[in-house]
Amino acid sequence: MDVIVCVRKVPDTAEADVMVEKSGKDIEKSRLTFTINEWDNYAVEEAIQMKEKYGGTVTVVTVGQKDVEDVLRRSLAMGADKAIRVDMEDPDDAYTLANILCAVIKNQKYDLVLFGAQSGDFNRGVTGAMVARMLGIPHATMVNGIEVLDGSIKASRELEGGLNEIYEIKLPALLTIQTGINEPRYVSISGIRKARQKPLEVLTPSDVGVGSIEPMIVLDKMYMPPPGKLAEFIAGSPEEAAAKLASILKGKGVL
């Protein structure tokens, strides 16, 4: 089984204070730390577990400038065989990104392409399914379980409300991976050092053969949301407070 995994480097904004730049076109990044997108990490682990079980190769692909190479090195240290970086600025538009990735992948040998189900920066959740369409192969998004069959796979997709649905999909196919599908391994510093020997290919956009692509969606401006209140206290008797809370939860769509 030859597997290609598309990965992305994203800022960790779960807890950090995020500020918008004066231009309104980007966030201030100097004080943020950047890591592999959490969903992609599960996708890489899944690919490597398949290789350990069924043989084959794992290739990781990303688009970005040189500073994103550490997520590739990390994936190589996890057990990937080869890495490819398309040397250009990460496009804002998922459609443009999908075109570039499609152009890279179609020249590779593969049975399965894996993406993270979404990324922690823009949470678009579209790139994987778009690439599948461009490659002309079937896809399933939000996959939280894979069973390999002969010439096909069974994929479990996560639905809302704790239910899963199962699809049987012919190979080659593309899946986008949901967190929790596996338990990603730790990548030690010395492991990353050792993985420096593994091949990392750098391609220019012209190597890949994509010209200019009209983006489908263009950023107008970024801005800060209105400040959220901290701990709004719900007053009243236990019954009153419970009733208010239940209606808040209903309103927020969590019930």
Partner 1 sequence: MAVFVFIEHREGKLMDISFESLSAAQKLNDTVVAVVAGENVSDLAEKVAKYADKVIVAEDPKIDTNNEAYTRVLNELIKKEKPKVVIMGHSSMGMDIAPALSVDLGLPIATDVVKINPEGGKIKVTRSIYNGKVLADYNLKNADTYIITIRAGEFSADDLKEKNGKIEIVDSLLKDEVADKKFVGYVQPVVGAVDITQADILVSVGRGIKDKENIPLAEELAKTMGGVLSCSRPIVDYGWLPKERQVGTSGKTVKPKLYLALGISGAFQHVAGMKGANMIVAVNKDPKAPIFSVAQYGIVDDILKVIPALTQKVKEIKG
Partner 2 sequence: MMEVEEASFDKLYDVYACMQCGKCTGSCAVSLRTKLNIREMMRIAILGNNDDLKEHEEIWDCTTCGICTVRCPRDLKPSEVIVGLRSVLVEEGEVPSTIRDALESIGNNNNPWGRPKSKRADWMNDLGVEVKNLSAGDEAEYLLYIGCTASYDTRIQKISRAAVRVLTKLGVDFGVLGEEEPCCGSEARMMGESGLFEMLVEDNLNLFNDFGISKIITLSPHAYNAFKTDYKDYKKRLEEEGIEVPDLELDVVHYTQFLAEQIDEGRLTSDMMNEFNKTVVYHDPCYLGKRNNIFEPPRQILSIIPGINLVEFERREDRSLCCEGGGGKMWSEGTGTGERNAVIRARDAGALGAEVIAVACPFCMSTLEDGRSTAGYEESMEVKDIFEILDEVLK
Is 71 in a helix, a strand, or coil? helix
User: Scanning the structure block, which residue is given the tokens 């991976």?
Assistant: 177
* Shortest separation between residue 255's beta carbon and partner 1, angstroms: 6
CB neighbourhood size of 108 (10 A):
14
> Read out DSSP for 106-148?
TTS--SEEEEESS-TTT----HHHHHHHHHT--EEEEEEEEEE
Surface-to-core class of residue 131, CB atoms within 10 Å of its CB (0-12 exposed, 13-18 middle, 19+ buried):
buried
Cβ contact 12:33 at 8 Å: yes
- Asked if residue 23 binds partner 1 (CB under 8 A), the reply is no
Let me know: does 221 contact 24? Beta carbons within 8 Å. Answer: yes
What does 22 interact with, of partner 2, partner 1, none (CB < 5 to 8 A by kind)? none
Distance of CA 126 to the CA centre of its chain: 10
From the list partner 2, partner 1, none, pick the one residue 187 interacts with, judged by a Cβ distance below 5 to 8 Å according to partner type: partner 2
Residue 31 binds: one of partner 2, partner 1, none (C-beta under 5 to 8 A by kind): partner 2
Stretch that binds partner 1, among 44-52, 77-85, 139-147, 200-208 (CB under 8 A): 139-147
Q: Which is nearer to partner 2, 30 or 206 (CB)?
A: 30
For the bound state, the minimum distance from the C-beta of residue 16 to partner 2, rounded and expressed in Å, comes to: 4
User: Which residue, 18 or 88, is less far from partner 1 as judged by CB?
Assistant: 18
Which residue of 106, 154, 185, 198 would you call a contact of partner 1, by CB under 8 A?
A: 154
- The residues binding partner 2 (CB under 8 A) are 12, 15-17, 31-33, 35, 78, 183-191, 193
Q: Does 113 bind partner 1 (CB under 8 A)?
A: no
212 DSSP 8-state letter? -
* Comparison of 52 and 165: residue with beta carbon closer to partner 1: 165
